[in-house]
Structure 1
């Protein structure tokens, strides 16, 4: 019986040595500061809070003409139904326009917009993430659960 207890205790001690150590976020941040990281770096790596964008103006990196397919950028016949034009205060589509009701920056390449749409005699609002990818060549817009990938049109 004594031998069984000794073996069981040895297994428990071995398991405790191999168990991953869990640390709170505060302990991790304190450790990062002790290791020489500055406070700004630690804060930047923590979960970020969306920042309202001044004057609800879309940053210049997002501006321009964007097409769902290459022909959206080159059509001269008015059939470019996948073209989206982004200006500082609105998004314009084939049959609708969206004014910026609220705009938050999640990062330099990601915005969260509340858009007030008008088009074809209707009005509606939509929460829309806008995400720049591939060094600003692709703009992803999520609409009604669908990820729409737009490619920047040549100037």
Structure 2
């Protein structure tokens, strides 16, 4: 009750400062205070779920990709151009690259930040992956070179 009175007094003082006579707002301020208190009693703070950035490649990019036809059909040792893309990992002949950042440019293009490990070394690389409209070709730009892959089994 004291809270209602304090709120009403504060509201009346605020409105009085604007030039409105206190007598005109007295009852309205008390009604407003009661409404606010009623709302305040049932109001709840709803936690907002903050989701971390999604660092997963979209489904159309997932699969086995070869620089040559032999990369898709060959055995270990003669498929050096094979790239296997999982949602959060790219696997190459002698290295693996974890997806650490992902920016969707369009439904067919993403810019990926990759953390590589292989042959006793570690490095980070940012590279665009561009899916052909046919879904059968994939272009990867690396150090100014354009690598053209074809989906295995296509």
Q: Does 1:85 align with 2:96?
A: no
Q: Give secondary structure in 1 for the equivalent of 2:134.
A: helix
Partners in 1 of 2:139 and 2:76 — Cα distance?
Answer: 25
Unaligned runs of 5+ in 2: 1-51
Q: Deviations over 1:50-87 (max 9, x none)?
A: xxx95201000000000000000000253100000000
Alignment of 1:133-152 (within 5 A): 133-152=132-151
Q: Deviations over 1:5-30 (max 9, x none)?
A: xxxxxxxxxxxxxxxxxxxxxxxxxx
Q: Give secondary structure in 1 for the equivalent of 2:70.
A: helix
1:18 counterpart residue number: none
Partners in 2 of 1:58 and 1:77 — Cα distance?
Answer: 25
Answer with 1 or 2: which has the greater Rg. 2
Deviates more, 1:75-84 or 1:65-74: 75-84
Unaligned runs of 5+ in 1: 1-52
**Per-residue deviation, 1:152:** 0.2
Alignment of 1:1-155 (within 5 A): 54-154=53-153
Q: Deviations over 1:121-147 (max 9, x none)?
A: 000000100000141100000011100
Structure 1 segments of 4+ aligned residues over 3 angstroms from their partners: none
* Count of residue pairs the alignment pairs up: 103
Q: Deviations over 1:66-120 (max 9, x none)?
A: 0000000000253100000000001000000000110010000000001000000
Partners in 1 of 2:113 and 2:76 — Cα distance?
Answer: 31
Query: Could you tell me whether the CA contact under 8 Å between 2:108 and 2:133 is conserved in 1?
Result: no
